[in-house]
């Protein structure tokens, strides 16, 4: 049935955590409050409130929240899933998309109003602007172990030379291997990691100034400008909405 779907509201005052798993159906998740970390196929996202992510059926993924979280989970039929992207997509949810999903929560799949609402959902997901870009981790064990350690406490002051030395590689070899693995320069990846970690910490209640200083920025305004350039929104928005 083209319009088949199921809805579930997840709300927790504690941490939500789901180990690696898959769904037989495609999954639409709208984050209403809090921040959800999503990991799949070597990529990591920090999904802030007001965003929706789409996971096609059969894709292995894991997720966990950072503090209190509230999100809507909608599982859709194969017929409807074929109208959506074939890869994981994170986007800023328009007010129209949120309203359509909210209305669907109160309708049965065979309700005559469900089909046009699903048309709206499909259009808004496909036409939406991707947000919260994925951060890829390198796969070789040495590089991955270092990257995971950096992810826990990233600093803008950590340069290529220090990273190369930590994994016992020359600067040239490290640069070549790292960029091939993550698909971007070390500097761009470092900014993505800082934004990822900052998003998590802001959701947990840390202040913007505190997060900026911990990330090695001597100027809070410079941190805010970097955060906005990478994520498309100011860090204060995350703290307010989370």
Q: What is the pLDDT of residues 129-171, one digit of tens each?
A: 777 667 888 989 999 999 989 988 999 999 999 999 999 999 9
Looking at domain 138-241, its CATH superfamily turns out to be Homeodomain-like (1.10.10.60)
* CATH T-level topology, domain 5-127: Jelly Rolls (2.60.120)
pLDDT of residue 9: 56
Q: Give the model's confidence band at 5: pLDDT under 50 very low, under 70 low, under 90 confident, else very high.
A: low
Looking at every residue in the chain, the average pLDDT score rounds to 88
How much of the chain, in percent, has pLDDT values that exceed 90? Answer: 52
Q: Where are the domains of the chain?
A: 5-127, 138-241
Adjacency order of strands within the sheet including 51-55 = 5-12, 69-76, 26-33, 51-55, 89-92
H-state helical runs in 1-109? 78-81, 95-104
Contact (Cβ atoms closer than 8 angstroms) between residue 73 and residue 8: yes
Does residue 204 have a pLDDT over 50?
Answer: yes
Burial of residue 108, with CB atoms counted within 10 A of its CB: 0-12 exposed, 13-18 middle, 19 or more buried? exposed
The token duo for 94 is: 């328009």
Does residue 227 have a pLDDT over 90?
Answer: yes
The token duo for 100 is: 């359509």
Among 4-8, 157-161, 175-179, 188-192, name the one with the lowest average pLDDT. Answer: 4-8
Phi and psi at residue 129, to the nearest 5°:
-90, 125
How much of the chain, in percent, has pLDDT values that exceed 70? Answer: 93
pLDDT of residue 13: 52
pLDDT of residue 106: 83
Q: CA angle, 107 as apex, 3 and 82 as ends, to 5°?
A: 20
Tens digit of each residue's pLDDT (9 = 90 or more) over 32-79: 888 888 998 888 888 888 889 999 999 999 988 877 788 888 888 888
pLDDT of residue 65: 82
Mention every residue, 6+ apart, whose C-beta is less than 8 A from residue 74.
5, 6, 7, 8, 27, 28, 29, 30, 101, 104
Burial of residue 129, with CB atoms counted within 10 A of its CB: 0-12 exposed, 13-18 middle, 19 or more buried? exposed
């Amino acid at each position: 049935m083209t319009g088949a779907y199921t809805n579930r509201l997840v709300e927790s005052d504690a941490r939500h955590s789901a180990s690696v798993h898959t769904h037989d159906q495609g999954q639409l998740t709208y984050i209403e409050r809090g921040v959800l970390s999503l990991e799949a196929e070597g990529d990591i996202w920090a999904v802030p409130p007001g965003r929706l992510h789409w996971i096609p059926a059969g894709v292995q993924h894991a997720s966990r929240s950072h503090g209190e979280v509230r999100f809507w989970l909608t599982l859709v039929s194969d017929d409807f899933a074929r109208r959506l992207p074939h890869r994981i997509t994170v986007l800023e949810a328009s007010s129209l998309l949120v309203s359509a999903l909210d209305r669907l929560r109160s309708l049965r799949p065979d309700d005559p109003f469900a089909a046009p609402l699903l048309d709206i959902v499909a259009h808004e997901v496909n036409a939406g602007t991707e947000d919260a870009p994925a951060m890829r981790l390198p796969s070789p064990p040495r590089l991955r172990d270092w990257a995971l350690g950096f992810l826990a406490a990233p600093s803008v002051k950590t340069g290529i030379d220090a990273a190369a030395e930590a994994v016992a590689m020359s600067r040239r070899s490290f640069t070549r291997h790292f960029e091939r693995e993550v698909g971007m320069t070390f500097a761009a990846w470092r900014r993505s990691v800082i934004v990822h970690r900052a998003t998590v910490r802001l959701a947990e209640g840390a202040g913007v100034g505190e997060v900026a200083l911990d990330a090695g920025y001597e100027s809070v305004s410079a941190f805010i400008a970097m955060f906005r350039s990478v994520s498309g929104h100011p860090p204060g928005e995350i703290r307010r909405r989370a």
